[in-house]
Amino acid sequence: MLKFVNTLSGKSEVFEPLEGNHVRLYACGPTVYNFAHIGNFRSFLFVDVLRRYLKYRGYDLTHVMNLTDVDDKIIRDATAAGLDIRAFTEKYIVHFWEDADALGMERPDIVVRATDHIPEMIDLVGRLVERGRAYESDGSVYFKIAAFEDYGKLSGNKVAGNQAGASERVDADEYEKEDVRDFVLWKGTKPGEPNWETRFGCGRPGWHLECSAMAMKYLGETFDIHCGGVDLIFPHHENEIAQSEGATDKPFVKYWLHAEHLMVDGRKMAKRDGNYYTVRDLVEKGFDPLAVRYSLISVPYRKPFNFTIESLQGVERRLKRLNESVRRLREANPQDLGGQPDGLLDDIATVTAQFEAGMDDDLNTAEALAALAMLETAVNTAVQQERLSEAGKQGAIAAFEKMDSVLGFLEPATDELLDDEVQALIDERLEARKAKNFARSDEIRSLLAERGILLEDGKDGTRWRRA
């Protein structure tokens, strides 16, 4: 039975989707003003593992992620670069997906940009104003916390809220609020800032508004799961609840899941502290991005994780060994055990049960990796002792692949020849023909044909294509 620790209740709860087999999931995405660091990617990879495990468990999934493409830091850095925010953020969106792809992250089903949803945000502001839960002041619109009783139910933070200095993301320049706790929904225009003309005047959205507006647009007013890093619990997610429930009077989200931080030397990895690595920093140091993935998902998401280069080196060695074990298994010749079982099928059942029990327990990836290691040991023993049946081999390969549909770091099976390998065989065939060794040249042609490579001999050499 799949269970999650829900930040809203602080308890472990059995997961039941609101509607049949369909799971609706919203995850806060990156603020695209720079390269994401691996701390950010710890949070995104947690969501990736969650999405993959929901699919493993047979759920239909609609997964939405936003890209925050307007905020103070974006405006600051775009201005410095002499670009409008659209052109500026575009570049970092491209880089974000390059890194995400390298880390083997599946794409969410729907990816949305804040600046493409200004009308939806304004509608939401309108609903809040109509209900007396928001007010206009000096060209901006604020959420009125005193008019929303449930404020604080996610974070437990009712009072300190939204005051300057309470969070790095709270603006220090909001003076016109009725109550210091109130937060801005719509910011009145300022010289030099991008702005949109709306019925609440010319301005731009506050940060929290986009996620409420876009989540409800694509997933409905109440949906199943909302995730992000723990630093988003307050004020961002608390404010999302206020904005959404304040407008609908319906529960916004059933399960709130939050990933703990990636730390360096006991401190949160953060851009402003300079203590961070990007994916490309690590690739430049020679690391396999899938080893980075392995490392970042190895600690269960609700536990803080202290990152070190040494531990990544260890993980990279571990992943190499694991890939070798799987490769040896794929290449192993099953033995004729005279009808005797090889024991592997029992091991596979045990290991799969352990993997699922771990993952069912609030995505305990450490347990899942321990299960994977058990399978590896069982397989290595069977291969070394030459006690591998065909059924055991196929079962073990399938079990590795199934677990990896969630973990996502194993080398895929490949019987496809790489381009270099094809070229080497073509060169060898040419040499064979020059030496009038037609038997070998024919052999190479048919070997390539078996692998789907078609040759065309022409005046200027041999060309090839895949069938």
Q: Which does 108 bind (CB under 5 to 8 A by kind): Zn ion, ligand AMP, none?
A: none
Measured between its terminal Cα atoms, the distance across the chain in Å is 45
Which residue, 260 or 342, is less far from ligand AMP as judged by CB? 260
Chain residue at closest Cβ approach to ligand AMP = 229
Nearest to 253 by CA among 240, 263, 262: 240
Contacting residue, 5, 27, 28, 279, with Zn ion by CB under 5 A:
28
Cα pseudo-dihedral 426, 431, 432, 436, rounded to 10: 140
Verify binding: residue 408, ligand AMP, rule CB under 6 A: no
Verify binding: residue 269, ligand AMP, rule CB under 6 A: yes
- Number of chain residues interacting with Zn ion (CB under 5 A): 2
Strand runs labelled E in 7-147: 11-14, 22-27, 60-67, 110-113, 134-137, 140-143
Verify binding: residue 232, ligand AMP, rule CB under 6 A: yes
Strand, coil or helix: 232: helix
Can you name the residues that pair with 229 across neighbouring β-strands?
259
Verify binding: residue 228, ligand AMP, rule CB under 6 A: yes
Verify binding: residue 356, ligand AMP, rule CB under 6 A: no
Verify binding: residue 302, ligand AMP, rule CB under 6 A: no
Contacting residue, 6, 43, 212, 335, with ligand AMP by CB under 6 A:
43
* Total residue count of the chain as it appears in this document: 467
Report the phi/psi class of residue 411: left, alpha or beta, with left for phi > 0 and alpha for psi in -120 to 50: beta
- What would the x/- binding string for ligand AMP be over residues 240 to 259, using CB under 6 A? -------------------x
Verify binding: residue 28, ligand AMP, rule CB under 6 A: yes
Q: Which does 235 bind (CB under 5 to 8 A by kind): ligand AMP, Zn ion, none?
A: none
Q: How far apart are CA 306 and CA 298, in angstroms?
A: 12
Verify binding: residue 262, ligand AMP, rule CB under 6 A: yes
Verify binding: residue 268, ligand AMP, rule CB under 6 A: yes
Give the shortest CB-413-to-ligand AMP separation in angstroms. Answer: 33
Q: How far is CA 288 from CA 221, 244, 324, in A?
A: 41, 41, 15
- The tokens of 337 are what? 């055990």
Write out the residues near ligand AMP by the rule CB under 6 A.
28, 30-31, 39-40, 42-43, 68, 228-229, 231-232, 259, 261-262, 268-270
